[in-house]
Every structure is written in structure tokens, then in C-alpha cells.
Amino acid sequence: MNLADSPFLRACRRRPVPHTPVWYMRQAGRSLPEYLKVREGVPMLTACATPDLIVEITMQPVRRYGVDAAIFFSDIVVPLKALGIDLDIKPGVGPVVAEPIRDARGLDALRPLEPDDVSYVTEAIRALTGELGGTPLIGFAGAPFTLGSYLIEGGPSKNHDRTKAMMYGAPELWHRLMARLADIVARHLRIQIDAGASAVQLFDSWVGAVAPADYREFILPHTRRIFESVADVPRIHFGVGTGELLGVLGEAGADVVGVDWRVPLDEHAEQLAG
């Protein structure tokens, strides 16, 4: 089958499909015994930087379930780690940053991302596209707000207090941080596309913590710029707990907006207007 005619890519472009395409938004590994076996004793960020492991874990749900698209095995903090940010993913906790960014001086750590910084990503995607054949590969990255929250808070946060304190109290610094992260994210997605990814997904895991007006002022311009930079492939946008944000999320420029379980699909469809 021609890759462009795959049900997943046709659906992304709102073209007729023979069946509703199914894929995993993230790697399905946590439920698969074969995943647990290959990950045993291997830290998450080590797995994300090992091409053979990336290929194997990405392929596991495709082999087992015959899904309509594969999702690249990685983590949203991979490009930050590649830039030399001192962070680790602690089991049961999540990403933890040793030196949080809370002032203008901290921005110096966020230099531009280069392909050589993530050469393992390019190597793994090239191997995957050969193995997947007519099954599309979805690349992905974390969005600036979510990455910024980890960097500012120093780790996962329930209320994102320090993040909002910067957003409201130091808006100039906030926009500089978001712009810097948007450049890194856009570059990371472009590297994946150039290596062979057929579509990309932007995860804004924590953006449901902001109000629609705040999203429009403090986040939307940066997200929109990312999507404009990768307009040559289908783009998916997803956030958790974003029922109230769907209308403005739809303005960011993605071809597909992911939704979670909190609002019925027919209501989502009305809010997104196509």
C-alpha cells in the first residue's frame, strides 16, 4: 500500500477511509510483556537514546496489534537532555530537573538543538521507516508550556504555582522562555520529519491547567509557530484536561486535535468545528 493512502494519513487529511484508523497515542509498552522484558534494568532516558531499543519498542504494538500507525518511542524531555540539561526521569515521579530555570540567566542553557545532538533519533527513524513499510510513523515532541513547567518547577507539579508566577509576574521572561523552547521543539520535530516520520504529534500534557484567555495570550503564539514550521506533514495536538480549551487549541494550526475522556466526542466535534 502507498504510504500516503494509509487510513491514518487519509483520516488526518479528512479524506474517506475504509475503516476508522487506530493507533496508540503513546507507546503501548507499559502493558506488554515484551516491553517489560527489554526495558528491564534500562533507565528510560537510556532506552530513548539507544536506536536498537527505540526500534524494537516502537515495533512491538505494531507487530502485536496491527495498528494503523506507529508512535516513535521517546520521551518529551529527550531534546532537553540532549542539550545538556541536568535531568532524569525518576520511576514513580517523572522528570526531575537539578537546576530549575527561574531567571534570565537560566535561559543560557537552552541553546539551539542540532541534528547531531539527537543522532540516535535519526538513526532509529531511518531504520523504522524501512521496517514499517506502508505503516506511517508518528514523531512527537513536548510542547513549550509543558516542557517549561518541568524546567521552572524542577519536576512534576499539581498546581504549577512557580510556572504561573513567571507567566503572570514576569511575562517578558516567560515569552523568551517559550520562544526558546518553541525553537527547540520545532527543530526536534523537523529532524524527525527529515528522517522519515510521516506525521508529528505535539503533547501539551499540563496545558489544561490554564484558562482559555491565558492560553491565547501566553501559549498560543508559540504553539502556532511550531505547527507552521512543520506544515508539510499532518500535525496532531493533544493536551490533558483541555475540554474548555478545545476551541482555542483548534486555532493553533494542527490538522488533528486529540481529546481525552472528560467530554463526549460529539461535543468535542462541535467545539472544534471540523
CATH number assigned to the domain comprising residue 18 = 3.20.20.210
| Helix, strand, coil tally for the chain in percent (to 5) | 55, 10, 35
DSSP state for residue 50 in the 8-state scheme: -
The yes-or-no verdict on residue 29 having pLDDT over 70 is: no
What would you report as the CA-atom Rg of the chain, rounded to the nearest whole angstrom?
18
Kindly report which listed range (114-123, 184-193, 222-231, 248-257) carries the lowest average pLDDT score.
Answer: 248-257
The more confident residue out of 270 and 168 is 168
- 27 pLDDT more than 80: no
Residue 100 has pLDDT above 80, yes or no: yes
**pLDDT-based confidence at 8, cuts 50/70/90?**
very high
- Would the pLDDT of 272 be above 90? no
Q: How many residues does the chain have?
A: 274
**Over the stretch 142-160, which tens digit does the pLDDT of each residue have?**
999 999 999 999 999 989 9
Catalytic residue positions? 26, 30, 39, 75, 150
Q: What percent of the chain has pLDDT over 70?
A: 98
Provide the domain limits for residue 111: 3-272
User: Residue 246 and residue 263: Cα distance in Å, rounded?
Assistant: 10
pLDDT at 264: 85
Q: What is the mean pLDDT of residues 224-235?
A: 98
At 101, is the secondary structure helix, strand, or coil? coil
Split at pLDDT 50, 70, 90, the class of 185 is very high
The domain total for the chain is 1
Question: What b/e string do you get for 46-71 counting C-beta neighbours within 10 Å, with b at 16 or more?
Answer: ebbbbbebbbbbbbbbbeeeebbbbb
Please tell me the predicted confidence (pLDDT) of residue 179.
98
Q: In terms of Cα–Cα distance, which of 91, 88, 116 is closest to 30?
A: 91
Per-residue confidence (pLDDT) for residue 266, from 0 to 100: 82
Tally Cβ neighbours within 10 Å of residue 83.
16
- What average pLDDT score do residues 174-197 get? 98
CA distances to 199, 203, 271 from 26, in Å:
14, 10, 24
> Is-contact 208 245, C-beta < 8 A?
yes
Question: pLDDT at position 10, please?
Answer: 96
Q: Please tell me the predicted confidence (pLDDT) of residue 2.
A: 82
Per-residue CA distances from 110 to 80, 176, 222, 260, 268 (Å): 8, 11, 16, 31, 36
Determine the Cα–Cα distance for residues 216 and 194; give it in Å rounded to an integer: 30
Q: Is the predicted pLDDT of residue 274 greater than 80, yes or no?
A: no
Residues 213-225: pLDDT tens digits? 999 999 999 999 9
> What is the Cα–Cα distance from 64 to 51, expressed in whole angstroms?
20
Q: Residue 187: what residue type?
A: R
Give the pLDDT of residue 96: 94
Confidence tier at 77 by pLDDT (50, 70, 90): very high
- What is this structure's pTM? 0.95
Average pLDDT, integer, range 63-85:
95
